[in-house]
């Protein structure tokens, strides 16, 4: 079993299909021009077929046993040595378990080469073959209730990681969720839930897996064990059903399924037909799901705060206000027995419900925390309030038994402490709910209902039915009227209209839609009626992928959070130790008369003064604020980014992006529009253009390269059947990485490629062809040479215009002190012309995918923090090698991109937005730490009485408690200010709009 650190790499991997889409395939010409089938425009057909000779290997991961490592420096040496190899996607070394996990491209590097590189670094390495395949690992998300600080989340995380079968876990305090990668063959998710429960917290399953959909159904009439078993058996018999969970107490059933095989309408039909029609089923109301948990928590804190306030106000008035009103003071000071007063009894009675009923949750939390040896904030609160309360009880009882005792009680301290802390928790939960508004807004894009059409065999509509949009199944036909939202991703099978896709793609201008065009769920139909065939539903939809990506980003921890995690282990024990030390020091000083008696207030003695100082120290310390400093800022930052079309995959990407001082740009599809067109053809043989392009188009028809597509589109003008042309039959087709293609067409050997390919095949390039190539390169065009039977037959010049605003974006980056470099697989002449036009000084041309990655690593070795901006499969090695990979042209399959940041709008200007947002977010994290540490570093000494000898100022415990509550609220509110983020004003003056080619 691979160790915990595998999670750092597995977060980059979605599933095998995703990996296939990210393979470093380079058909020919300019590597960067190739578009991933998973990143096609919504208007392009995703059903691409690859020739077997074109497809390269998927990413693979291998685990090595490394012996000889003694410290983190050794681990760093191994990691650095491995990353120097071409084709390394990621490497992570665990010095404690002597393991190295490497994710790599097998087409560029082998396991043996990796092992040899580790040994070259001075260590022994052995491949652990049985661990090199992680396909059996599954992911689940768990909601955890009751965590109050980083100590709580660390306890749960440690307990989960200790389980056999758990590969890694990540517990997020801000979202109150856990994400666990585990082997279902070894451990079940029920055992994970039980482990969380055993650590003292409530656990509830949110989801299992990423490649399956999940639906919750409410069932009426499910009362007996027999009926439950009958329903379960009926559902499990359906093809595509993965898992069935029944919660009889809620009359709810949760089903995981494969949407291509079955769907929710089928489940409802099966349930209602089971048991002679005694059951009635419907989609479980959304209001009882995830959002309701947060609302329930807010209401609970609000209710307890109000009850605390009802009892605390009278306690406060009797101890702090009425004592200065003569008539009431006499009444409160009236003695019942010996020195026991009416006021003392009244305060005792009023504070007891606050201490033991309203504050009961702190006792439970303290017990659970101490039982597992991880003291948290609840322990501090319980310790402080109990000290105040029980000392007050002691003073009351002693006064009742003595005529000479005049000690003061602190009932108002315990009651006010609990009430103020509950107010702080209420405000904190309220604010934390706002940090995840981005996900709620994304989910609201989906319409509540949809119009389902019934078609006859001829395809004519014979019926309409309005259904819950969550009941849509694959291949359903949905009617979308003007002004309505598209209910599902799909293909238009009838009608014409314009669809506003700005909420998904960022394209401000409505996009024309007609038969065979794809549409995205959540977008708005402007005019005209469309009939849409659902192709991707449930978790497969674009909207679901975006939501899942944002949720994963908000779960991911930034490296800077390790600082808070380290502090949390020792924070509470140190505070308790310091509190007792404070009390003992002041008490001892009082007994030894080390300070003037006049320092002691008239209402207390030296013991009570010392006790107040000790309680103040306990209650002012706040571990919560430290734990919330990073995750709340990351949550808001990623949410704001999503709302602006910049999807940032978690804290790691945010932290790296704010340090970026060098950006490597791909050319085609990044700096240019990415829609090349043929602009000139020079024939060098006596043949008709139609015959020439017949042969070339037939050869290129098997390629998915943008240049090949441009040639095919141009060739159509010579055909009468331009809509669906039939090209001559092709034999022996071969794609030559980074150079071109060759094939046999009509018994002629056709080679289409760049100059290096023609020379490599020992074909003479005539002077006319050289001149044509030079002319094309001088005009920033790409020259393609065509050879027929080993003789150059012509040169095709292809142009790809610059994206609007490219020059301005490079200029702004220079003003931000970020260096820009262009690395492309295109020829030097074309690349240099484009670079001069946009203002880039450093150009690397003719680079293959592995060479792009090597250039990124070279820049990193030179001390740069590098971001790679690209748009295709060929950029994947460089995207992964860079400190921050930025994908341009996200299309609809956003969640499976190799990059750390995905720019949904396909705008180059959003590169600046991503870097600026990360800088602003990280600045907010720093401010949060200043808030959190400031409260503790300054507050604890003041609470301990540091200012009392010189100024006479002391911090009463109830004020210290209010300060502690305010610290967490301050941190969350500081993070929430990020919601006001506005991109740099310089970008508003560019007038750049999303590029979307029909």
* CA 348 distance to own-chain centroid: 50
Report the alpha-carbon angle 260-261-266, nearest 5: 115
SS3 content of the chain, % helix, strand, coil (to 5): 50, 20, 30
Give the position of tokens 């010409």.
Answer: 29
Token digits of residue 860: 């990193």
CA distances to 204, 407, 576, 609 from 590, rounded to whole Å, are: 52, 16, 21, 9
Q: For residue 780, give Cα distances in angstroms to 773, 777, 830.
A: 11, 5, 4
What is the C-alpha to C-alpha distance for residues 634 and 620, in angstroms, rounded to an integer? 26
* Distances from the Cα of 153 to the Cα of 176, 553, 559, angstroms: 8, 17, 16
Give the pair of three-digit tokens for residue 538: 């449930």
CB atoms within 10 A of CB 299: 12
The Cα–Cα gap between 873 and 877 comes to: 8
Q: Where are the beta strands (DSSP E) in 728-800?
A: 730-736, 740-745, 748-753, 782-788, 791-799
Q: Helices 561-591 and 377-400 meet at what angle, rounded to 10?
A: 20
Task: Kindly tell me the burial class for residue 645, based on how many C-beta atoms sit within 10 Å of its own C-beta (0-12, 13-18, 19 or more).
Answer: buried
Query: Which residue, chain included where needed, has tokens 């006319």?
Result: 768
Q: In which order are the strands placed within the sheet that holds 477-480?
A: 461-468, 449-455, 477-480, 530-536, 489-494, 518-519
DSSP 249: G
Tokens of 72: 């983190």
> What is the helix (H) or strand (E) element at residue 542, kind and residue range?
helix 542-555
How far apart are the C-alpha atoms of 471 and 213, rounded to whole Å?
Answer: 12
Distance CA 642, CA 543 (A): 12
Distance from chain centroid for Cα 360: 36
> Is 499 within 8 Å of 511 (Cβ atoms)?
yes
Residue 26 · residue 849 · CB < 8 Å: yes
Burial 918-933 (b: 16+ CB within 10 A, else e): bbbbbebbebbbebbb
Among 885, 780, 798, 890, residue whose Cα is nearest residue 843:
780
Alpha-carbon distance values, 108 to 16, 24, 56, 825 (Å) = 19, 9, 10, 17
On whether the CB atoms of residues 355 and 312 are closer than 8 A, the answer is no
Annotated catalytic residue, options 666, 800, 875, 883: 666
DSSP run (H or E) holding 314: helix 290-316
* The two structure tokens encoding residue 830: 């074309």
138 Cα distance to chain centroid: 18
101's tokens: 């996990």
Query: Which residue stretches of 26-71 are H helix?
Result: none
Decide if 212 contacts 219 (C-beta within 8 A): no
Task: Output DSSP code: residue 906.
Answer: -
- 666 included as an active-site residue: yes
Q: Do the beta carbons of residue 652 and residue 7 sit within 8 Å?
A: no
Tell me which residues are annotated as active site: 666
């Amino acid at each position: 079993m691979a160790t915990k650190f595998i999670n750092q790499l597995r977060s980059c991997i979605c599933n095998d299909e995703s990996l296939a889409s990210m393979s470093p395939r380079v058909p020919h010409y300019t590597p960067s021009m190739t578009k991933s089938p998973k990143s096609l425009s919504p208007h392009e057909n995703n059903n691409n077929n690859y020739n077997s000779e074109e497809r390269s290997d998927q990413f693979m991961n291998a685990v090595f046993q490394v012996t000889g490592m003694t410290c983190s420096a050794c681990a760093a040496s191994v990691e650095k040595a491995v990353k120097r190899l071409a084709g390394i996607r990621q490497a992570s070394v665990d010095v404690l378990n002597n393991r190295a996990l490497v994710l790599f491209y097998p087409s560029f590097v082998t396991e043996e080469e990796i092992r040899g590189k580790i040994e070259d670094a001075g260590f022994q390495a052995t491949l652990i073959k049985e661990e090199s395949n992680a396909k059996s690992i599954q992911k689940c998300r768990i909601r955890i209730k009751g965590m109050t600080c980083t100590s709580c989340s660390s306890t749960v995380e440690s307990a989960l990681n200790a389980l056999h079968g758990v590969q890694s876990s990540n517990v997020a305090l801000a979202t109150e969720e856990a994400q666990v990668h585990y082997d279902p063959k070894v451990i079940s998710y029920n055992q994970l839930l039980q482990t969380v429960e055993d650590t003292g917290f409530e656990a509830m399953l949110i989801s299992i897996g990423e490649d399956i959909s999940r639906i919750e159904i409410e069932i009426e009439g499910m009362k007996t064990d027999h009926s439950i078993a009958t329903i379960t058996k009926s559902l499990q018999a359906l093809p595509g059903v993965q898992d069935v969970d029944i919660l009889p107490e809620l009359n709810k059933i949760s089903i995981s399924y494969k949407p291509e095989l079955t769907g929710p309408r089928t489940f409802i039909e099966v349930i209602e037909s089971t048991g002679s029609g005694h059951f009635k089923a419907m989609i479980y109301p959304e209001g009882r799901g995830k959002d309701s948990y947060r609302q329930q928590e807010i209401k609970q804190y609000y209710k307890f705060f109000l009850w605390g306030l009802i009892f605390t106000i009278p306690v406060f008035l009797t101890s702090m206000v009425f004592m200065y009103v003569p008539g009431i003071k006499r009444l409160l000071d009236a003695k019942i027995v010996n020195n026991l007063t009416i006021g003392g009894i009244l305060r005792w009675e009023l504070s007891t419900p606050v201490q033991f009923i309203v504050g009961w949750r702190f006792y439970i939390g303290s017990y659970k925390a101490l039982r597992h040896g991880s003291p948290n904030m609840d322990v501090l609160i319980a310790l402080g309030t109990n000290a105040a309360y029980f000392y007050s009880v002691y003073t009351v009882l002693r006064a009742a038994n003595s005529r000479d005792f005049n000690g003061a009680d602190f009932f108002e301290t315990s009651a006010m402490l609990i009430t103020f802390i509950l107010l702080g928790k209420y405000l904190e939960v309220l604010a934390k709910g706002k940090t995840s508004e981005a996900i709620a807004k994304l989910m609201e894009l989906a319409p509540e209902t949809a119009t389902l059409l019934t078609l006859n065999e001829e395809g004519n509509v014979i019926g309409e039915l309005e259904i819950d949009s969550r009941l849509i199944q694959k291949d359903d036909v949905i009617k979308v009227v003007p002004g309505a939202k598209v209910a599902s991703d799909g293909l238009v099978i009838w009608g014409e209209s314009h669809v506003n896709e700005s909420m998904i793609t960022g394209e401000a201008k409505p996009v024309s839609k007609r038969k065979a065009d794809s549409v995205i769920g959540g977008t708005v139909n402007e005019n005209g009626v469309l009939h849409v065939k659902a192709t991707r539903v449930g978790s497969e939809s674009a909207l679901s992928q975006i939501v899942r990506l944002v949720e994963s980003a908000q779960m991911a921890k930034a490296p800077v959070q390790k600082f808070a995690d380290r502090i949390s282990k020792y924070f509470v024990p140190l505070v308790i130790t310091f509190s007792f030390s404070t009390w003992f020091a002041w008490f001892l000083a009082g007994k030894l008369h080390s300070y003037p008696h006049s320092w002691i207030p008239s209402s207390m003695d030296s013991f009570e003064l010392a006790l107040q100082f000790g309680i103040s120290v306990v209650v002012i310390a706040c571990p919560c604020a430290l734990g919330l400093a990073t995750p709340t800022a990351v949550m808001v930052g990623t949410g704001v980014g999503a709302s602006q079309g910049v999807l940032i995959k978690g804290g790691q990407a945010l932290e790296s992006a704010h340090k970026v001082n060098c950006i490597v740009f791909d050319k085609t599809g990044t700096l240019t529009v990415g829609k090349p067109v043929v602009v000139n053809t020079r024939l060098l043989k006596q043949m008709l253009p139609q015959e020439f392009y017949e042969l070339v188009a037939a050869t290129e028809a098997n390629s998915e390269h943008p240049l090949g597509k441009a040639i095919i589109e141009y060739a159509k003008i010579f055909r009468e059947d331009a809509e669906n042309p039939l090209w001559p039959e092709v034999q022996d087709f071969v794609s030559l990485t980074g150079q071109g293609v060759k094939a046999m067409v009509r018994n002629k050997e056709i080679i289409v490629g760049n100059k290096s390919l023609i020379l490599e095949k020992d074909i003479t390039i005539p002077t006319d062809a050289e001149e044509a190539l030079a002319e094309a390169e001088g005009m920033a065009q790409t020259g393609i040479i065509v050879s027929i039977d080993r003789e150059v037959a012509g040169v095709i010049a292809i142009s790809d215009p610059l994206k609007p605003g490219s020059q301005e974006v490079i200029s702004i980056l220079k003003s931000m002190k970020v260096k820009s470099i262009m690395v492309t697989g295109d020829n030097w002449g074309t690349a240099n012309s484009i670079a001069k036009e946009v203002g880039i000084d450093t150009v690397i041309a003719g680079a293959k995918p592995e060479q792009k990655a090597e250039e990124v690593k070279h820049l990193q070795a030179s001390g740069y923090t590098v971001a790679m901006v690209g748009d295709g499969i060929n950029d994947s090695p460089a995207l992964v090698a860079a400190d921050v990979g930025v994908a341009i042209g996200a299309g609809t399959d956003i969640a499976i991109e190799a990059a750390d940041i995905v720019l949904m709008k396909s705008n180059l200007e959003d590169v600046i937005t991503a870097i600026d947002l990360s800088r602003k977010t990280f600045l907010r994290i720093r401010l949060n730490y200043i808030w959190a540490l400031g409260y503790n570093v300054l507050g604890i000494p003041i609470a301990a009485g540091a200012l009392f000898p010189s100024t006479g100022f002391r911090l009463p415990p109830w004020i210290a408690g209010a300060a502690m509550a305010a610290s967490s609220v301050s941190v969350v509110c500081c993070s929430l200010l990020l919601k006001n983020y506005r991109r740099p004003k310089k970008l508003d003056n560019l007038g750049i709009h999303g590029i979307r080619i029909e």
